């Protein structure tokens, strides 16, 4: 199974933008991670009133584009994202689901490419972590810490803390056990 990462922004993918995110996902979740190519874009995500894109609409759209061998699908966009109760989000994921989305729109202050790539790697691991069932961490250095502002993104590392790594192992084991066929009856 593979974690797929797809550029779903307007225009071509910025050069080398996704490489650090793919490397961080592979390292943190010990799974193959690679690019997916999705030629179309979510047609109904733009909210005229807010002048932003609905991350929830994009998640629903992404769910129908999972590659056949995909475990998770992360869409990366340059469009500004929102959920109804917040003015913006860096990303959103289906908790214990299969899809997530991250935006670079607010990760570009200042617009230094290396800094944007590093922030994108952190937010990619964060959102894909939610798809594995991880929740927000109280440690501000953990990649699963909440990110209400850029300062919080810059403060955290691109890695799971020891507690979240342990939770991730437990969650993977539970999902593996739940997915196994039941043992045949013993007589």
Q: 164 near 144, Cβ under 8 Å?
A: yes
Catalytic residues: 127
Residues 6+ apart with CB under 8 A from 105: 77, 78, 79, 80, 81, 88
CA neighbor of 147 nearest in space, from 119, 181, 178, 185: 119
162: alpha, beta or left, given left = phi > 0 and alpha = psi -120 to 50?
A: alpha
The first and second tokens of residue 169, run together, are 């192992």
């Amino acid at each position: 199974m593979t974690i797929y990462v797809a550029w779903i922004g307007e225009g071509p993918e910025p050069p080398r933008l996704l490489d650090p995110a793919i490397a961080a996902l592979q390292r943190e979740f010990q799974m193959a991670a690679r690019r997916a190519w999705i030629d179309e874009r979510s047609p109904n995500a733009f909210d005229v009133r807010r002048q932003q894109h609905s991350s929830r609409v994009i998640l629903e759209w992404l769910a129908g584009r999972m590659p056949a061998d995909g475990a998770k699908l992360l869409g990366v966009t340059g469009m500004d994202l929102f959920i109804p109760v917040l003015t913006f989000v860096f990303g959103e994921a289906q908790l214990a689901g299969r899809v997530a989305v991250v935006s670079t729109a607010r990760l570009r202050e200042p617009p230094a490419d290396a800094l944007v790539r590093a922030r994108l790697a952190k937010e990619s691991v964060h959102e894909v972590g939610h798809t594995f069932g991880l929740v927000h961490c109280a440690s501000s250095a953990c990649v699963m810490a909440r990110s209400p502002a850029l300062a919080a993104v810059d403060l955290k590392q691109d890695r799971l803390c020891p507690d979240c790594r342990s939770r991730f192992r437990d969650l993977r084991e539970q999902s593996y056990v739940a997915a196994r066929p039941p043992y045949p009856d013993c007589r």
